[in-house]
Structure 1
Amino acid sequence: MQASALLNLLQFASPALPIGAYSYSQGLEAALENGTVHNAPTARAWILRHLHEVVAQWEAPIAWRLMQAWTNRDWQGVDDWSERFIASRDSAEFRAETIQMGYSLTKLLAELDILDAEAKARLQREPEVALPTAFACAVAALKIPHDAALLAMLFAWAENQVLVCVKSVPLGQVAGQRMLLSLREDIETAARYAQSVQDDAMCNWAPGLSLLSMQHEVQYSRLYRS
């Protein structure tokens, strides 16, 4: 990877990106509340199941397809996969999460002036922009290799989940870093699967996670928005 592409990737996959990712737990806070996650082993088990049974099965494959569509200027593909992703957000919090962060990243891309006129117009014409759509647009605009971008996206997701556990289980900082290090092989496996899975084999079936998300909407004490 060229140095410029690597630096672009490090910036746009960083948790410091001002799009609000730190404020979401993606159902993990509800699992902490009901005791499903309560220590380091259960936290790691939660993250692994979420990674392999949800993210790798649906979110990562859609992000991979969106990156290809943006790079190839396949606008029908961008529209189709964006619509499918938004339609798959089956709770109010999950839908609000991707729309809020997608909006924030879209605004950031415009303010940084890294999009050409055509790409900017495509984003602006969408009534709602999901986060994977905006991220894929940035990847294409900055000429970041797709395989590296996918790995970075998955790592950023795992890092955010680990940080929730560090704050809320709670885990120590070293324990959190040890857990994140132990997830690398699984992240690579998830990325390979996302790149190879056929369209008709993709699935977002995760009723337990959906129920936890709905329960979180009425949870009495919350630190996170999902």
Structure 2
Amino acid sequence: MQATALLHLLQLSSPSLPIGAYSYSQGLEAALESGIVRDQLSARAWIVDTLHHVVARFEAPILCRLLHAFSARDAAAVREWNERFIAARDTAEFRAETIQMGYSLSRLVIELGLGDEALRGILQQQAEVPLPTALAYAVVALNVPHDAALLGMLFSWAENQVLVCVKSVPLGQVAGQKLLLSLQPELENAARCAEQLQDHELSNWSPGLSLLSMRHEVQYSRLYRS
């Protein structure tokens, strides 16, 4: 990867990107409340299971498809995968999360002047912009290689999950870094899976996670918005 593309990827994957990712746990806080996640081993099990059964089989493959659609300036394909992703958010929290972060990122990239007129036109045609759509737009606008962008997205997701565990399990900072380091082979496997799945194989079927998300909506004490 060229240095410029690498620097763009690091910026997109940075926790300092102002889209509010730090304020969401994606159901993890409810798992902490229920005792499913309670220590380093259970934290790792939670992250690995969610990565392989949800993120790698739905969110990441849809990002791949949106990357190809934006690269081809295929407005119909962008609209299709954009709408399918939003429709698959099966709780109010999960839907609000991706729409809020997608809105923040899409507004940021437009204000930064990223992308040509054709790309901007496709983005602005969407009634609502979830996070994968905004991220795909930014990646294509900045000429970041697709495979690197996919790994960056997966790493950013995993890093946020680990940070939730560091603050809320709680885990120490060193334990958190050990956990993140141990996830690298899992992230590589998840990326390979996402790139190979056919359209009919995509699935975010995870009723346990959905139920935890719905419980979190009425959870009495919480730090995160999902």
Mapped contact 2:73–2:118 kept (Cα < 8 A) = no
Identity of aligned residues (%): 67
Query: What is the number of residues matched between the two proteins?
Result: 226
* Aligned residues of 2:114 and 2:141 also touching (Cα < 8 A): yes
**Aligned equivalent of 1:121:** 121
List per-residue Cα deviations over 1:143-184 (Å, max 9, x = no partner). 100000000000000000000000000000000000000000
| 69-78 or 83-92, larger mean C-alpha shift | 69-78
Runs of 4+ in 1 over 3 A off after TM superposition: none
Counterpart Cα distance in 1 of 2:119 and 2:68: 14
| Corresponding residue SS for 1:204 | coil
- Residue identity opposite 1:121 in structure 2: G
Residue matched to 1:197: 197
2:76 paired residue number: 76
- Residue 216 of structure 1 is matched in structure 2 by 216
> CA separation in 1, counterparts of 2:64 and 2:121?
22
Structure 1 runs not aligned, ≥5 long = none
Give TM-score, length-normalised by structure 2.
Answer: 0.99
C-alpha distance in structure 2 between counterparts of 1:199 and 1:105, whole Å: 26
TM-score (norm 1): 0.99
Is 1:91 equivalent to 2:91 in the alignment? Answer: yes
Report the CA distance between 1:37 and its aligned residue.
Answer: 0.3
Q: For residues 155 and 12 of structure 1, what CA distance do their matches in structure 2 show? A: 11
Distance 1:135 1:25 in 2: 19
Are 1:156 and 2:156 counterparts? Answer: yes
Give the Cα–Cα distance (whole angstroms) in 2 for the partners of residues 191 and 74 of structure 1: 23
Distance 1:198 1:123 in 2: 25
Deviation per CA, 1:3-61: give whole Å up to 9, x if none: 11111000011111000000000000000001000000000000000000000111000
Q: Which moved more, 1:124-133 or 1:17-26?
A: 124-133
2:171 alignment partner in structure 1? 171
Residues 1:42 and 2:42 aligned together: yes
* 3-state SS of paired residue (2:73): coil
Measured after TM superposition, the shift of residue 125 of structure 1 is 2.3
Distance 1:91 1:222 in 2: 17
Superposition deviation, residue 122 in structure 1: 1.8
Moved more, 110-119 or 173-182: 110-119
Q: CA deviation at 1:72?
A: 1.0
- Looking at structure 1, the residues matched to 195 and 7 of structure 2 have their Cα atoms a distance apart, in angstroms, of 23
In the alignment, residue 59 of structure 1 is paired with which amino acid? Answer: E
What is the letter of the counterpart of residue 85 of structure 1? F
Aligned to 1:139: 139
The answer to whether structure 1 residue 31 and structure 2 residue 31 are counterparts is yes
Q: How far did 1:121 drift?
A: 2.0
Of residues 138-147 and 111-120 in structure 1, the stretch that sits farther from structure 2 once superposed is 111-120
What is the root-mean-square deviation in Å for CA atoms of aligned residues? 0.6
Q: Deviations over 1:57-109 (max 9, x none)?
A: 11000001111111111111111111110000000000000000000001100
Tell me the distance in 2 between the aligned counterparts of 1:127 and 1:68: 20
